[in-house]
Amino acid sequence: MKITLINSEKTKINKALEIVLVKKLSHLSSKEQVLLKKLNFSKDNKNILLLEKNKYYILCPSLKQESVKITLCNALRKLKSEGFKKLVFSLCTAKKELELSSLIEGLVLGNYSFKKYKTGHKETKISIYIDIKNSNKDLASLEKECDEALIICKNVNFVRDLNNTTAEDYSPKSMSEDARKIAKKYNLECKIYGEEDLAEKNMNVMLAVGRASRHESQLIHLHYVPKDKSLGKFVLVGKGLTYDCGGLSLKPTLGMLTMKRDKTGGITVLGIMSALRDLNYPYEVHGIIGAVENMIGGDAFKPGDVLYAKNKVSVEVRNTDAEGRLVLADCLCYAQDEIKDIDCLINIATLTGACKIALGVYTTGVMAHSSSLKNKMQKASNKSGELIGTLPFNDFLEKLIHSGIADVSNAGSSPAGGAITAALFLDKFIKKRNKNKWLHLDMAGPAYSEVPWAYHSHGASGSGLRLLLHFIKHFKKQ
């Protein structure tokens, strides 16, 4: 898909279909109103194609950002399937200038589908023109907005591609190789640690999770330093389980079917790190990923084991399927041992099925001690369109992870409040000085769906990347 900004007053595109978003019929010329009324244009008949005029009218009662994205995605998919190859979208409707980034996201993200495993598939090329006639913004700022939106969309689709790739084709080593490539391309520092290094660093909890896998666990540490003065320091820690069968606390067939998605947090961190240089963000960002596969075998870690994390906290493993928090625990310790003066520490993970039950499958769970950070994340949600819901901590739930034998248990004694008890477990590995700088995102729901939704097709949605990039972009030191 190629996107070009044009001004129809200066450039005419031949044989292109013009898409007209109509909020109210009365916004159109009286001639158009008569014609469309005759054709019964209404909420029961929202789309009208006038081939003789090369126009496609869509009734769109809401022009809010997310509605625009979804409307454009649906129009694109329909028109593409009908063989149209040149489409023109106007930035300005009769009464309102839309957000350019919304148009681009709706079209580029909506155009994505994963065809790696479909033999003989040929992608149809489509040219999109965005008409900036009547815009209140100057060309330079529109071009900048366009470039930025395209960089973000490219990286969302990159995250989707990797996440849709099967666990057979994408191991922890694949992730560390990709990290190396990104570091080289964008001039980032890159450290990769294998199992020997992890043992040396006393990251025994993370090591235990990957022990039964034929793939070596990898700790990935990428570091972006802005060209100009840094306005703050972010640390992102991602759960990169390339597969989670549950370990000896084995998942049922359906539960493990899509568990290649359990690397979403890690892949999202990878996608963010690969976007920062192009976006020229003025913040220092560390991306840390625990890339591990949770499998079964004679060497597997077991329910009942007691393990010692990097910070010497002892953990009773009561369920090997609660492995993500184990990997994150050691990665969080590593992050705080290695990086000084952190302004914001965020971990991102497909951590609990309970989060899907609490918030539904479209919403990312947000947990943190600091209300200020949670408010900032809400603002990033409003800007990006990604849904979030905050889940509150409390002392009663904390008791559910008490262990009779060790400092803490890796699974709550009751499934109720499971997303929160998982976060309270992670809290045991957050140093005092970082408590109010830490925020946890549980994206078990929106990461992946076999039912297409919004402008996401079957599979990985790429959720998390736009949310976090908006969060970082608008973060100002408290």
Would you tell me which residues interact with ligand BES (CB under 6 A)?
A: 244, 262, 319, 321-324, 350-354, 411, 418, 444
d(CA 221, CA 134): 46
Q: Are 244 and 215 in contact (CB under 8 A)?
A: no
353 is in the binding site of which of Zn ion, ligand BES, none (Cβ under 5 to 8 A by kind)? ligand BES
Active site residue 251: yes
Closest approach, Cβ 218 to Zn ion, in A, equals 16
Number of residues that bind Zn ion (CB under 5 A): 6
The β-bridge partners of 220 are 192, 289
Which sign, positive or negative, has the C-alpha torsion 422, 424, 429, 430? positive
Complex with ligand BES: residue 130 or 465, whichever CB lies closer: 465
Active site residue 80: no
Q: Which of 363, 356, 359 has its CA nearest to residue 377?
A: 363
Q: Which of 225, 236, 224, 295 has its CA nearest to residue 265?
A: 236
Closest approach, Cβ 262 to ligand BES, in A, equals 5
Question: DSSP secondary structure string, 192-256?
Answer: EE-HHHHHHTT-HHHHHHHTTSSSPPEEEEEEE--SS----EEEEEEEEEEEE--TTSPPPHHHH
Considering only 41-49, 259-267, 302-310, 468-476, which stretch makes contact with Zn ion by CB under 5 A?
A: 259-267
Tokens linked to 447:
């990461």
47 is in the binding site of which of ligand BES, Zn ion, none (Cβ under 5 to 8 A by kind)? none
Chosen residue from 210, 265, 266, 324 binding Zn ion by CB under 5 A: 324
Complex with ligand BES: residue 255 or 452, whichever CB lies closer: 255
411 is in the binding site of which of ligand BES, Zn ion, none (Cβ under 5 to 8 A by kind)? ligand BES
Closest approach, Cβ 241 to ligand BES, in A, equals 6
d(CA 110, CA 125): 14
Q: Which of 393, 344, 377, 392 has its CA nearest to residue 464?
A: 377
Closest approach, Cβ 20 to Zn ion, in A, equals 46
Closest approach, Cβ 427 to ligand BES, in A, equals 16
Q: Does 262 bind Zn ion (CB under 5 A)?
A: yes
Annotated catalytic residue, options 77, 173, 251, 473? 251
Q: Which of 176, 182, 386 has its CA nearest to residue 273?
A: 182
d(CA 326, CA 339): 20
d(CA 376, CA 74): 31
Considering only 6-14, 31-39, 315-323, 380-388, which stretch makes contact with Zn ion by CB under 5 A?
A: 315-323
d(CA 194, CA 216): 7
319 is in the binding site of which of Zn ion, ligand BES, none (Cβ under 5 to 8 A by kind)? ligand BES
Considering only 15-23, 87-95, 139-147, 324-332, which stretch makes contact with Zn ion by CB under 5 A?
A: 324-332
18 is in the binding site of which of ligand BES, Zn ion, none (Cβ under 5 to 8 A by kind)? none
Annotated catalytic residue, options 325, 383, 437, 466? 325
Complex with Zn ion: residue 182 or 241, whichever CB lies closer: 241
d(CA 143, CA 155): 18
Complex with ligand BES: residue 106 or 462, whichever CB lies closer: 462
Closest approach, Cβ 11 to ligand BES, in A, equals 47
The β-bridge partners of 219 are 193, 290
Chosen residue from 131, 161, 293, 321 binding Zn ion by CB under 5 A: 321
DSSP strand pairing (55-59 vs 17-22): parallel
Residue linked to tokens 């990665």:
331
Q: Which of 274, 242, 278, 63 has its CA nearest to residue 164?
A: 242
Complex with Zn ion: residue 161 or 323, whichever CB lies closer: 323
Closest approach, Cβ 351 to Zn ion, in A, equals 7
Complex with Zn ion: residue 284 or 323, whichever CB lies closer: 323
Q: DSSP code of 323?
A: -
354 is in the binding site of which of Zn ion, ligand BES, none (Cβ under 5 to 8 A by kind)? ligand BES
> Which residues from 233-252 bind Zn ion, rule CB under 5 A?
241, 244
- Active-site residues: which are they? 251, 325
